[in-house]
Structure 1
Amino acid sequence: MIPASLVERLERLRASAPGLRAYALVDGIQYEQHFGRALRRRWGTVHALFAGTEDEPLAEAGPWVIDVVQPDVGVVAPLDDLEEARPGVMWLFTTQDIESLVTTLQRKLNSKLPNGKIALIRFWDPRVFVPLFNALDMEGRRTYFGDVDEWHGLADGKRFHVSHHA
């Protein structure tokens, strides 16, 4: 389930943005190792971010977007447990539908380095998200994170969030 504090936050935000939706961004390998089963695509509710990309062979182990309102309870219910146990969950609030969000997030997967090489950016991992956010200036933060209303996660046992509502 989505943590109670985030449900409360989402409801407050919906007062001024009624179209706001909640999604979980889940590390597939962390999910599989923790629960002993892999995530599976469910049209319209559970999507692998690597699907349709050059990393598609790794889709099962990569990041997944889950509509926390729509899929069966067996997928969503244990996510707060996973978040507490492993760095495997981020929570996103956005007005985008799931297909648009997947496209938005796929554009963030790779970054060109100064030497011309391409690097995969593990923004779905709170251990990477926080240092990435801190390394960017305000304009970089708006550019990279601004197309999602809020990003929430747990790092070192502490809840954090990035919001353009604040």
Structure 2
Amino acid sequence: MQPLPVRHWLEPAEENRRFLLLDGAQCESLDELLKQLHGIADSEIQLFDGLLADGSGNASVWLHQLQAGVDVANLLVWLGGKVKSFGALTFIDTALSEGELSQRLMRRLDARFPNGKEFLARFYDGRVLPWLVNVMTQEQRNAFLGIGCEWWFVTHAHVWDVLILTAPQEDLYDPPLQLDDTQRRQLLADTYPYTLIDHFRLVDEDLLDRVPRNDQYRFIRGCMRVGENYGIHDGKRVVMICTWALLLGEGFHQTPDWVLRLEDFLEGRRTARDIGNEVWPVVESWD
């Protein structure tokens, strides 16, 4: 894991408190991490219990009110070795009490697709947060962000960015968050690169790291667009397009030979193995 991005952190305004929102699914040794955070947090509240039944993982989400004067830059250096990805943590500056903030955040967890299927609005994942807010209507956004002053997160380009919040005395948000089909498709398209990045991180990290880490989201999203241009949307074939781009460069698909290969790949005339054997033929050696 790379060190978390650096920025100059000012103390929150006098009337505000700073909270750390922590996604347990993206943390190493969560229980030990929580114990160590006790020393710098005035309080902690579990937004929901994500402990797996067999104890093999813990996707719980925690809200910590940091003590006044905590050096966030030093905290990030320490946290850098304890998180699996930069989406594990975000910071919220707000004048709301920890109880009121936690209640408002919990009300924002419930979401629903047009077909009635319910899902978790994963705003606590800093990778998802900006894309989720981006697909909302202005009315949805105004209500959803009514939790404070500022919400800091790490972008796909590995720099800190902020959402400007409001904090009405009465929470105007009316759950659940309801996304229409257009919003749903856009959210899935915008967040799927992280699924692909996680896949390559697991199966071939060296191949993925041919692209600088702060450029991997853009690179993978571009590969998805190549697939979309050929009508290729299913995960396995999108993975192959990403693999070829990582091996050959992101402009690989522009040559006439590759245009034909991708058309054949879409129509089922050639498999990924067929294409691989053609581009990288096995040469037998009798040495």
Q: Normalising by structure 1, what TM-score?
A: 0.72
Deviation at 1:140, TM superposition (A): 1.6
Where do 1:105-144 residues align within 5 Å? 105-144=105-144
Structure 2 counterpart of 1:65: 63
Deviation at 1:29, TM superposition (A): 2.4
Q: 1:96 to 1:123 in 2, by over 3 A?
A: same
Distance 1:68 1:127 in 2: 22
**Residue ranges of structure 1 left out of the alignment (5+ in a row):** none
Identity %: 22
AA in 1 matched with 2:124: W
Q: 1:4 to 1:118 in 2, by over 3 A?
A: same
**Residue ranges of structure 2 left out of the alignment (5+ in a row):** 1-5, 167-287
Larger strand proportion of the pair:
1
Are the counterparts in 1 of residues 112 and 119 from structure 2 also a CA contact under 8 Å?
A: yes
Distance 1:135 1:65 in 2: 25
Structure 1 counterpart of 2:150: 150
Q: Normalising by structure 2, what TM-score?
A: 0.44
Distance 1:128 1:158 in 2: 15
Are the counterparts in 2 of residues 44 and 99 from structure 1 also a CA contact under 8 Å?
A: no
Where do 1:39-118 residues align within 5 Å? 39=34, 45-50=43-48, 60-69=58-67, 77=75, 78-79=78-79, 85-118=85-118
Structure 2 counterpart of 1:28: 24
Deviation at 1:164, TM superposition (A): 3.8
SS in 2 for 1:127: coil
Structure 1 runs (4+) deviating above 4 angstroms are 40-44, 55-60, 80-85
Distance 2:129 2:162 in 1: 10
Q: Deviations over 1:16-62 (max 9, x none)?
A: xx32110010111222x2677353697961111015xxx68789522
The answer to which structure, 1 or 2, has the higher relative contact order (CA under 8 A, 6+ apart) is: 1
> Based on CA coordinates, which of the two structures has the bigger radius of gyration?
2
Q: Deviations over 1:53-89 (max 9, x none)?
A: xx6878952211011117x99xx93346657953200
Distance 2:34 2:7 in 1: 24
Aligned length, in residue pairs: 149
Larger helix proportion of the pair:
2
